[in-house]
Every structure is written in structure tokens, then in C-alpha cells.
Amino acid sequence: MAVEVVAPMPGTIAEILVEVGDNVRTDEELIILEAMKMENPIVAPADGTVKEIKVAEEDKVDTNQVLLVLE
């Protein structure tokens, strides 16, 4: 079952910490989202494998935009 990881707020992708195919654990940091001059870690909501990354570093994102998909 695929799980979409979404942006909790608008911001800029500062860093992507995983690659497609990586196995991740619940609460592992996946992406650093820069918003309001703060770096906000986006963490895995569940254990899984990174199936797809839908953003790139420096991309501007909106609230609830899908950042990556876990399987």
C-alpha cells in the first residue's frame, strides 16, 4: 500500500535525504523543508521503501503537496 508524504506548510526543499529504493523506518527524516527561515524535517509516517520522489532540491512547494511516495 502506497503512502504519500505531503508538505505540512509552504516552503522550499532544502535537502533530500533519501533516494528511490531506500528502506526507511517510522520517524526517519526524509526531506528538509525550509519555511519561515527554519529548517523543518519531514519524517516517514510509516516503515517502507521510497517508491518515488516528486520534488527536487530548491523546489518551492505548497501545503499538502505530495513530496514522495512510500510503499
**What's the pLDDT band for 1 if we cut at 50, 70, 90?**
confident
Domain boundaries, the chain: 3-70
Flag whether pLDDT at 34 surpasses 90. yes
Please state the pTM of the whole predicted model. 0.93
Instruction: Read off the pLDDT of each residue in 11-40 and give the average, rounded to a whole number.
Output: 97
CATH assignment of 3-70, among 2.40.50.100, 3.40.50.970, 1.10.645.10, 3.30.1360.30: 2.40.50.100
3-class secondary structure per residue, 11-43: EEEEEECCCCCCEECCCCEEEEEEECCEEEEEE
What proportion of the chain, given as a percentage, has pLDDT over 90? 96
